[in-house]
Structure 1
Amino acid sequence: MKQEALQLVSENSRSGTFFVPVEMFKEYVDRMQFPTAISFGTKTVSCEVAPHPDQKNEYKLSSDLWDQLMIPHESLIHVFQKDQTLYLGPLVGIFTAGFTQFNLRPIGERSLFFAKLLSVEKKIGAFYFVFGAHQIDWENGTVNGYFYTNEGWRQRKVPIPNVVYDRLPNRKVENLEFSKEVKERLQKEYDIPWFNPGFFNKWDIHQMLVNDNEASKHLPRSYFQPEFHDIEKLLEEFKQVYVKPANGSLGLGIQQLIQKNDDPFVYCRFRNNEENRLRRYSSLKRLVRRQFPFGLEEMIAQQGIRLLKWNNNPIDFRIHTNKDDEGKWCVSAIAAKIAGTGSITTHVKSGGEVKTVKEILHDIGATPTIAKKLHETALLLSEKIDANMPGFIGEIGFDIGVDQDEHVWMFEANSKPGRTIFSHPKLKGDDLQSRRLPLEYAVFLFKQSVEKQPELVNAHGTFL
């Protein structure tokens, strides 16, 4: 039985009791079957159920159960039932690293990012917090997590959460033993849904999609750990080639090779020391030898695309997709990114500019059907990646281009997309949507996990 998200408050007058709206209590009376246990996070205790004393459309929990379950504060919540147990929440933990000793900014420069994520708690109905490996008390099954409240950041001890949203900052941290141990223990010992479990490898994603008839038409021709003749062949056919790290992010390490018609020189555009650079070489062999002195191991060479342009600067599109409260993919945010003058990428840090899709299509006189193509392609690719990846994937950030024939190309898919585009004043709605959806998806995973649960308590109300 699913109830709408309602407010949960504390009650002092009666012990061991969960008070529910009158209509909900009538359903128990009609069935002559009452819940005997209540669960929050991974903690379960015995309880009685009674009608709300003031007949309000809210939940009340007696203060003794409130303390036993370690409810952090009053909040809007969902309640799901399986057999004789009521499940409150969900309690959703965002797993990350990089914590500091400063209460005002406990996750350093990313504190504002997490504060904005957590702020949707009251809109969705859940308890939402941030935690790291060192805040878990494995012996007692608790987490000393960071909640963002009206008074700022506060630490509260709560049970192990129902769902974990992975926001580790980079691959290096992800590959540390303590990160792997936390993930393994929470999934194996507690059977917790863990979504966005890892960073994507660009070549793995390419290989996953290249054999799919629908997806492959959106992939530029690419080579992993290319030989010299692979680059030579791409450059001869497409006149531009992009070489990038298979495990790169934020546009770091990308280099563009350019061969102009009737020009004996080969050019390389790249970024170095926060500057956009352009070098000229007398031959491709000299360029490769100089620009890639350590070889092309773990690199990808990809055909260049003749992209749509704005004021002669290439345009690509950042599209965020998320799963919603029914576990279905939707487009949560989309924006056009314009490359800065002389820049190899459209990243804002490299001088790029962000515009809405409507603005850019109007400015360049493109057909409105491009927006529809972008949405359809992003959803198609999301579903294909999701179908072929292990674990739960809740969001993907795509870098997608449109060529001058209006064909759509996927350049990259990122499992933990950046959010620089949301600084655009006209993308505030997209920003909110992209923050709401991960928590809505967590509610969906919570409901699924409840439906799979065996009866959790024995006659004494202790956890089995």
Structure 2
Amino acid sequence: MIINNGNKLTLSPVIALLTEIYPEHESSLFGSITAFCEEIAQYCQRHGFFFYVCSLKSLLAPDIQGYIKVHDHWSLADVPYPDVVHNRLHSRKVEKSPLFQQAVEMMKSRGTPYFNAHFLDKWSVFTLLSNFDHLQPYLPETYQLRKKEDLIDALSAHSGVFLKPVHGSQGKHIFRIQQDERLYRVDYTTFSQPFEKEYPTFQSLFEALYTQLQKQGFLIQKALPLQTYKGCPFDFRILCHRVKETNWKVTSAVARVSQQGNFVSNLARGGEIAHVYGLLQEIYAPLTSRQITKLLKELALDICHCITVSTDGLFAELGIDLAIDTDGHPWIIEVNTKPSKQHDSITDKKIRPSAKAIVHYCAHLSGHSTEEV
């Protein structure tokens, strides 16, 4: 797109962010990423880039309409076809739809790069990372739940396990099952159906869970003796972004501490964020805290590289969830291809580092260079 930059006409990359749009909610037009879109828009304006937000149907329309930031509000306008597309669709169902596949084919035919290419489910990530020998010591024992005997075997081998939805997110629909003598103790998150806390037999436990387990695929993961902070479990979200062709960098890192009595630390489930090194210093000596912090970041970057070389499609932003056990050993909990944009860093800056990183990578894909500002 040609824009007037003072007295000189220059080519400006056209950057589109693809997501769900809610016109009836002006203050949260783009749902949970509304503030993030505003930061990207502001940063693009600073660099003279043309940025808009559009829906999947709009991207496929002969005449695209997108939301552009005009002063302090979003305005729907006719916009040019983008030079690069950042995929922030939140629905796995939509990504599997013929409409999305049509958009993918159109982008490919026009030579338009897009990222992040698609969701990666938990089992796919586990099997992918398991292929790298050096990552195996950081992966909790994990199995697919295909039949009742899979859960019987897991509980025979481990005193506690987690049942996690293969396509789950935000700490939803997770069961924690622990064996205590002849009882099975159950904790769980965000189910409309109430479950008992204790079951006297495996059969009574399985019958109670059966309906929920049939609704979606689950995997079984060994419960680890994770480190706690003031009696609460915690983990780490390491946010990484791709730099040009193959390199990745850590953009931000936060610790997420669960609510008292909760076993998941997701912010959507009431968790709180803290500085990684600051929290570790409450538990370990300064030198150990620095070593663990460094190891977590190195492990996150290694995971990004392994995913880059092992998956189809382009990925440029990954949220790596890690935890440490009571011995300080790191464990890989989850990899998010569309990481949450709510509290993804602890900063008082008006534009967070992750928004800047997205703009710089978009500029790179479209053949433009930017300086970190």
TM-score of the pair, normalised by structure 1:
0.72
Query: Amino acid of the residue matched to residue 209 of structure 2?
Result: Q
Q: CA–CA distance in 2 between the matches of 1:437 and 1:327?
A: 14
% same residue: 25
Matched, 1:304 2:252: no
Matched, 1:447 2:367: yes
Q: CA–CA distance in 1 between the matches of 2:202 and 2:95?
A: 37
1:438 corresponding residue in structure 2: 358
2:130 corresponding residue in structure 1: 210
Residue 323 (structure 1) shift: 0.9
2:50 corresponding residue in structure 1: 127
Question: Per the alignment, in what secondary structure is the counterpart of residue 197 of structure 2?
Answer: strand
Q: CA–CA distance in 2 between the matches of 1:221 and 1:59?
A: 62
Change (3 A) 1:214 1:206: same
Q: Deviations over 1:324-347 (max 9, x none)?
A: 256521111111111222213112
Aligned counterparts, 1:142-291, within 5 A: 142-188=63-109, 190-260=110-180, 263-272=181-190, 279-291=197-209
Q: CA–CA distance in 2 between the matches of 1:191 and 1:290?
A: 51
The aligned length equals 364
Answer whether contact 1:323 1:330 (CA < 8 A) is retained.
yes
Query: Amino acid of the residue matched to residue 122 of structure 2?
Result: K
Q: Deviations over 1:117-137 (max 9, x none)?
A: 322213445221111233347
Change (3 A) 1:360 1:236: farther
Answer whether contact 1:203 1:224 (CA < 8 A) is retained.
yes
Q: Tell which deviates more after alignment, 306-315 or 267-276.
A: 267-276
Answer whether contact 2:319 2:335 (CA < 8 A) is retained.
yes
Q: CA–CA distance in 2 between the matches of 1:418 and 1:310?
A: 23
Larger radius of gyration: 1
Residue 397 (structure 1) shift: 0.9
Change (3 A) 1:282 1:101: closer
Change (3 A) 1:278 1:329: farther
Residue 173 (structure 1) shift: 2.5
1:17 corresponding residue in structure 2: none
Change (3 A) 1:351 1:132: closer
Question: Per the alignment, in what secondary structure is the counterpart of residue 364 of structure 1?
Answer: coil
Residue 143 (structure 1) shift: 2.4
Residue 96 (structure 1) shift: 1.4
Query: Which of 300, 312, 316 is matched with 2:235 structurally?
Result: 316
Query: Amino acid of the residue matched to residue 281 of structure 1?
Result: Y
Question: Per the alignment, in what secondary structure is the counterpart of residue 315 of structure 2?
Answer: coil
Residue 171 (structure 1) shift: 1.1
Q: Deviations over 1:383-438 (max 9, x none)?
A: 0011111111011112211112222111111110112334x7x4345971111111
1:356 corresponding residue in structure 2: 275
Residue 294 (structure 1) shift: 5.0
Q: CA–CA distance in 2 between the matches of 1:395 and 1:340?
A: 27
Query: Amino acid of the residue matched to residue 213 of structure 1?
Result: D
Residue 204 (structure 1) shift: 1.1
Matched, 1:393 2:315: yes
Answer whether contact 1:99 1:108 (CA < 8 A) is retained.
yes
Q: CA–CA distance in 1 between the matches of 2:194 and 2:293?
A: 30
Q: CA–CA distance in 1 between the matches of 2:28 and 2:161?
A: 42
Query: Amino acid of the residue matched to residue 279 of structure 2?
Result: I
Poorly superposed stretches of 4+, deviation over 6 Å: 274-278
1:53 corresponding residue in structure 2: none
Question: Per the alignment, in what secondary structure is the counterpart of residue 119 of structure 2?
Answer: coil
Q: Deviations over 1:284-322 (max 9, x none)?
A: 332122123354662100111111111121111111111
Q: Tell which deviates more after alignment, 203-212 or 92-101.
A: 92-101
Query: Amino acid of the residue matched to residue 389 of structure 1?
Result: T
Answer whether contact 1:325 1:437 (CA < 8 A) is retained.
no
Question: Per the alignment, in what secondary structure is the counterpart of residue 361 of structure 1?
Answer: helix
Q: CA–CA distance in 1 between the matches of 2:196 and 2:327?
A: 28
Change (3 A) 1:234 1:124: farther
Matched, 1:60 2:28: no
Q: CA–CA distance in 2 between the matches of 1:125 and 1:178?
A: 32
Residue 166 (structure 1) shift: 0.3
Answer whether contact 2:317 2:337 (CA < 8 A) is retained.
yes
Change (3 A) 1:314 1:440: same
Change (3 A) 1:124 1:376: farther
Long gaps (5+) in structure 1: 1-6, 11-57, 62-78, 80-87, 449-464
Q: Deviations over 1:429-454 (max 9, x none)?
A: 59711111111111111129xxxxxx
* Structure with the larger RCO, 1 or 2 (CA within 8 Å, 6+ apart): 2
Query: Amino acid of the residue matched to residue 203 of structure 2?
Result: K
Change (3 A) 1:258 1:443: same
Change (3 A) 1:9 1:192: same
Query: Which of 263, 270, 293 is matched with 1:371 structurally?
Result: 293
Aligned CA-pair RMSD = 2.8
Q: CA–CA distance in 2 between the matches of 1:325 and 1:334?
A: 21
Residue 161 (structure 1) shift: 0.8
